[in-house]
């Protein structure tokens, strides 16, 4: 039986107080014309056991950069963590060496990606790829690792898993590949799973199945799930808490229910209003006017102010700090009391 040894020894965590993954004040920089410029700035969030945190934002908002930074997967020459802290059950990951990261990745923290079609090694059997992860982190025989591979494939709902372990990725459909990716990520029973737009490349019906599966795995295995998406619909479906990212910063963070009911940041309101619903409405979906600034440009004042319908003169003068809204929520808006409209 494969269990996470360290987890057994630790006393049961206080689920309401101890986050499994805690990111604090994270700033990631990329080189632009040989000068390092921030693309992720002062991002803080935490995820508890059995909880799903949604990281929402449009393309280029820095959500994938943030997740890659957490996994230690930023490529050395094209991005760096300038400062901040990433702690996995108390263990600091910023500044950890490759060897230390390799011990944690795939074991305590795992990740699945947007493109199931290209995220599996095409020249390696599905089972082999899972066996590789298991044997990297557990001192078990090949046969035992294979049994584990069949077990997790079965767990994620791959039919006749015992024979499909011998298939190659090209013999799997897109949805099945994403299930195989999930199986691979869960093979060592991680504490944290990062899902980077795991349903974006899939058909709508398959999307729903994969979301169901992730929800089920989170509840059964007590995963802390960091779910990255651009879709408010997916957020509504799976997330307990939401961090909305704009231009490399978290602009609002709140419990999902609160956020949908009463957004505190004009950008969140815009995202909610742009959400298609099943109720047929006249005309087109409302858009957020304008475009986000280039990721590496630093506007003075609030980064969203050029597109914000509630802009006042003060908005363009100083970058807004985070304002607390209620128990757990924060908004990066100097007008946190605005009567913004939630999802209907």
Partner 1 sequence: MAGLLVNRILRSVPLVLLITLGVYGLVFLIPGDPAATLAGDNPTPEQIAHIRQSLGLDRPAVEQYLGWLLDAVRGQLGQSLYTGADVTGMILDRFGVTAWLSVLAVLVAVVIGIPAGVLAAAARGSWIDRAITVAVTAGIAIPGFWLGLMLIIVFALQAGVFPAGGYTPISEDFGEWLLHVTLPAVTLAAAPAAELARHTRSAMLGVLEQDYIRSARAKGVAEWAVLIRHGLKNAAGPVITVLSFQAALLLGGSVIVEQIFGMPGLGSLAIQAVHDKDLPVLQGVVLVAALIVMIINLLTDLAYGFLNPKVRAV
Which residues contribute to the site for partner 1 (CB under 8 A)?
71, 73, 77, 98, 101-107, 110-111, 113, 115, 118-124, 132-133, 136-137, 168, 170, 181, 184-185
> Which burial class, exposed, middle or buried, applies to 262 when counting CB atoms under 10 A from its CB (0-12, 13-18, 19+)?
middle
**Could you tell me the smallest distance in angstroms from the CB atom of residue 194 to partner 1?**
9
Nearest distance, CB of residue 158 and partner 1, angstroms: 17
> CA 264, CA 340: separation in Å to the nearest integer?
7
- Nearest distance in Å: CB 247, partner 1: 25
Q: Provide the minimum distance between the beta carbon of 93 and partner 1 in the complex, in angstroms, as a whole number.
A: 13
Task: Kindly tell me which of 175 and 329 has the beta carbon lying closer to partner 1.
Answer: 175
Shortest spacing between CB 125 and partner 1, in angstroms: 8
What's the start-to-end Cα distance of the chain, in Å? Answer: 48
Nearer to partner 1 among residue 192 and residue 288 (C-beta) = 192
Comparing CB distances to partner 1, the nearer of 17 and 77 is 77
Of residues 115 and 151, the one with the C-beta less far from partner 1: 115
Contacts of 250 (CB under 8 A, 6+ apart): 42, 43, 44, 45, 243, 244, 322, 330, 332
Query: Would you state the structure tokens that stand for residue 188, as one six-digit string?
Result: 């060592």
Judging by beta carbons within 10 Å of its beta carbon (0-12, 13-18, 19+), is residue 319 exposed, middle or buried?
A: middle
- Kindly state the smallest distance separating residue 130's Cβ from partner 1, in Å: 9
Which is closer to partner 1, CB of 185 or CB of 229?
Answer: 185
44-82 in b/e form (b: 16+ CB < 10 A) is bbbbbbbbbbbbbbbebbbbbbbbbbbbbebeeeebebe
In the complex, the smallest distance separating the C-beta of residue 185 from partner 1, rounded to whole angstroms, is: 8
Q: Which residues touch 69 (CB under 8 Å, ≥6 apart)? A: 26, 28, 40, 79, 81, 86
Give the helix/strand (H/E) hosting 41.
strand 35-47
CB nearer to partner 1: pick between 24 and 115:
115
CA 300 to CA 259: how far, in whole Å? Answer: 27
- Residue partners of 337: CB distance under 8 A and separation at least 6: none
Of residues 192 and 271, the one with the C-beta less far from partner 1: 192
**Helix count and strand count (H, E) for the chain:** 11, 12
Nearest-approach distance from CB 112 to partner 1, in angstroms: 8
Closer by beta carbon to partner 1, 55 or else 120: 120
Indicate the residue among 100 and 316 with the shorter CB distance to partner 1. Answer: 100
Helical spans, DSSP H, in the chain: 5-9, 63-71, 98-104, 126-137, 142-155, 161-164, 174-186, 204-221, 232-238, 256-261, 266-273
Token pair 């019906």 in the structure block, residue: 205
Smallest separation (angstroms) from partner 1 to the CB of 113: 6
Q: How far apart are CA 317 and CA 248, in angstroms?
A: 19
């Amino acid at each position: 039986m494969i269990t996470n040894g360290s987890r057994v020894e630790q006393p049961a965590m206080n689920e309401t107080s101890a986050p499994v993954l805690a990111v604090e004040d994270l700033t990631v920089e990329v080189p632009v014309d040989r000068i390092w410029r921030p693309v992720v700035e002062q991002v803080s969030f935490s995820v508890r056991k059995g909880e799903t945190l949604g990281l929402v934002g449009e393309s280029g908002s820095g959500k994938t950069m943030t997740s890659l930074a957490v996994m230690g997967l930023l490529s050395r020459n094209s991005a760096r963590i300038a400062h901040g802290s990433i702690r996995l059950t108390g263990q600091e990951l910023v500044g950890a060496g490759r060897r230390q990261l390799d011990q944690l990745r795939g074991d305590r923290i795992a990740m699945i990606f947007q493109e199931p079609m290209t995220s599996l090694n095409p020249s390696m059997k599905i089972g082999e790829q899972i066996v590789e992860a298991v044997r990297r982190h557990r001192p078990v025989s090949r046969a035992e690792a294979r049994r584990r591979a069949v077990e997790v494939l079965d767990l994620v709902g791959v039919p006749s898993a015992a024979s499909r372990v011998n298939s190659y990725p090209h013999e799997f459909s897109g949805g099945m590949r994403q299930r195989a990716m999930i199986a691979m990520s869960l093979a060592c029973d991680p504490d944290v799973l990062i899902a980077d737009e795991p349903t974006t490349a899939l058909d709508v019906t398959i999307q729903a199945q994969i979301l169901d599966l992730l929800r089920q795995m989170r509840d059964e295995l007590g995963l802390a799930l960091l779910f990255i998406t651009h879709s408010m619909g997916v957020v509504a479906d799976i997330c307990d808490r939401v961090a909305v990212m704009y231009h490399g910063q978290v602009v609002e963070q709140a419990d999902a229910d609160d956020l949908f009911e009463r957004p505190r940041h004009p950008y969140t309101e815009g995202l909610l209003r742009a959400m298609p619903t099943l109720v047929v409405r006249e005309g087109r979906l409302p858009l957020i006017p304008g475009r986000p600034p280039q990721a590496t440009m630093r506007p003075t004042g609030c980064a969203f102010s050029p597109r914000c319908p509630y802009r006042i003169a003060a908005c363009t003068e100083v970058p807004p700090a985070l304002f607390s809204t209620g128990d757990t929520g924060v908004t990066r808006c100097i007008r946190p009391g605005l009567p913004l409209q939630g999802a209907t």
